[in-house]
Structure 1
Amino acid sequence: MVTSGQEQPARSTRERLIEAGIRLLEEVGPEALRARTVAAKIGASTMAVYTHFGGMNALLDAVAAEAFARFGAALDVPETDDPVADFFVAGNAYRTYALANPQRYRLMFGLVSPQTTHPAALNLSTPGAPVESTVGTTSFNQMMHLVERMIEAGRIRADPVADIAGRLWSLVHGIVLLEITGYLGHAEHAVTNILGPATTDLLVGMGDERSRIEQSMVHARERLTKA
């Protein structure tokens, strides 16, 4: 542990390149990232990208992995005795991260030009399908844990956990992406008129009671107000 007054250990060139890639990603977008510009950001030559990553595509994969790691950290919310409220707090963290880092979000989910895409991390449509990459699996596991807790609390029916997590992730992802691209108007409208009601309707369809969901929303708002 580093205490006050102690120096942080120097980051490696690889770590500095990833951090530079993340910063430039938000400034210019993934399609405009070049080995030369990323290397220049840390005062290195273009060769540094090839020495540590073998090329720009591998650096972009590393940037996506780091973006997902930070995404997962944002979704790691404290657990309470109300798992649905916990889900709403995590959902707010999801949306906040995506809106604050739109270019990073595009890269994470492959919403970029063909030359900058990375292999899909998960196959949500085929039960038992092999996972080819660990990118994104931690975030999905966090979603499944929330689902498991909602099932154990008797709030929703016990469909396969991965299926429910996929439904919830698809709903939040789709709405957030539409918000990022400007199709849902101002932020308050997107939450109060679209995301909130859609999530409530899905949970009601899964067996929860609308009145209990509304109370969980109140609990979530109280936590977010205090944060």
Structure 2
Amino acid sequence: MPKTLSADDIQQFREAMRSVAENAFATRGAQGVTMRELAKELGCSAMTPYRYFRDKDDILAMVRAAAFNRFAAHLEAAAENASGDNRLAVSDAYVAFALDEPHAYRLMFDVNQPEGGYPDLAAAALRAQEMLSRHFERLVDAGLLKGDPQLIGYAYWASLHGFTMLALANQLPLPEAQQPPGHTAPTREAVLAQLRGMLWRGAQP
């Protein structure tokens, strides 16, 4: 008879699975991963994951929820610790998360998974969205930007997402630190600064 799982047992297994599954889903795609393969990579029997998850989609939802929560926490910390209107801090934090955790970032936004059956995933995605909404509400309330904060937030999100996806695909100039000596071409930082400047000028009063 299987032993009764404690809360710690469940949490430890789920966290171990999260780490393995995030890499597997990001590199092979959801269709290219099976429960049996995940169990093998984790070093457990093929049936063990079913004691903790309903199916593969349940694991994928758990991985994505964890990514959204880390993403939201990263942006929240940047907004809280920044000085002034913290516009640059939040955009820098957004890009830094995507470049530091590319597997997590791609799974957050490249996977079409119904959130209705996964309340933890829905709550985590909403946390990230509401963080950006609150950020732009504060900027509009302070008179730094003019317009619908929700609409500004979506435009901001879409623009930064495009930048980060191009960066992850190596379709942007190299970062300053990787440029050859005496370079004259634009740097990745210069592209981001140009993008941010265009966004803020368009939304200023």
Counterparts of residues 45-124 of structure 1 (less than 5 Å): 45-76=45-76, 77=78, 78-80=80-82, 82-83=84-85, 86-109=86-109, 111=110, 117-119=112-114
Aligned mates of 1:142, 1:90 — CA distance in 2:
10
Amino acid in the other structure paired with 2:87? F
Contact residue 25 and residue 104 of structure 1 kept, 8 A: no
CA drift at 1:178: 0.9
Instruction: Give the unaligned 5+ runs of structure 1.
Output: 1-8, 122-131, 209-227
Aligned mates of 2:164, 2:23 — CA distance in 1:
22
CA drift at 1:97: 1.4
Deviations 1:22-54 (A, max 9, x none): 35456x443443322322343322222333221
SS at match of 2:44: coil
Aligned mates of 1:103, 1:12 — CA distance in 2:
21
CA drift at 1:80: 4.6
TM-score by length of 1: 0.69
TM-score by length of 2: 0.76
Contact residue 82 and residue 89 of structure 2 kept, 8 A: no
Q: Return closer, same or farther for 1:16/1:81 CA change in 2, 3 Å cut-off.
A: closer
Q: CA RMSD in A?
A: 2.4
Aligned residues: 180
Aligned mates of 1:15, 1:142 — CA distance in 2:
25
Instruction: Give the unaligned 5+ runs of structure 2.
Output: 1-7, 177-186
Percent of aligned pairs with the same amino acid: 24
- Higher fraction of helix: 2
Amino acid in the other structure paired with 2:188? A
Contact residue 136 and residue 153 of structure 2 kept, 8 A: yes
Aligned mates of 1:147, 1:177 — CA distance in 2:
23
